[in-house]
Structure 1
Amino acid sequence: MGGFSLIHWIILAVLLLLLFGGNRFSTMMGDVAKGLKSFKQGLADEDDKKPQPPQQIGTQQQPIDITPRPAEPTAPPPPADDQTR
């Protein structure tokens, strides 16, 4: 009930070949195969693109200056409203 036997599948395949034609059907199957092949290749390329550790460039970097700087002079705070100006 509801299942297809071998005869049903064969009749279905013959009808598909008659509808689409042999050449068109094989072209579609070739396109599907190419799509699967490119999908697998894309997955393999993704595995190859693992992050690499940073490589040091041959030029020498300048050392970072960490000596403390003198504090910059700041302006005196503005007078409060109750003070004379």
Structure 2
Amino acid sequence: MGSFSIWHWLIVLVIVMLVFGTKKLRNMGQDLGGAVKGFKDGMKDGENKSAESGEPAQAKELRDSTTIDVDAKEKSRQQ
């Protein structure tokens, strides 16, 4: 009951092909492959940019954010 035999998977595959059609399945596979490739390229580009700047990518994101960095000493003197 826990695992299916090869015949069960073949029947499921035939039903999926009948419902979606081979062209739609091929397009979905190409789209998924393109998304994975884009993700991998993006990860490599992020690593290369952070290595060039000499700081971790996460630190650069924090530095580039729109938050304002104020020293606590200056703020406590003003109050």
Output the TM-score relative to the length of structure 2. Answer: 0.62
Aligned to 1:22: 22
CA distance in 2, matches of 1:47, 1:35: 18
CA distance in 2, matches of 1:13, 1:20: 11
Aligned to 1:10: 10
CA distance in 1, matches of 2:54, 2:29: 39
Question: What is the correspondence of 1:52-63 to structure 2 with a 5 Å cutoff?
Answer: 52=54
Equivalent pairs counted in the alignment come to: 53
Aligned residues: CA RMSD: 1.5
Matched, 1:42 2:42: yes
Q: Which runs of 5+ in 2 are unaligned?
A: 56-79
Report the structure number with the largest CA radius of gyration. 1
Higher relative CO (Cα under 8 Å, sequence separation at least 6) belongs to 2
CA distance in 2, matches of 1:35, 1:17: 22
CA distance in 1, matches of 2:48, 2:11: 46
CA distance in 1, matches of 2:4, 2:42: 36
CA distance in 2, matches of 1:30, 1:8: 26
Greater helix percent: which structure? 2
CA distance in 1, matches of 2:5, 2:39: 33
Aligned to 1:31: 31
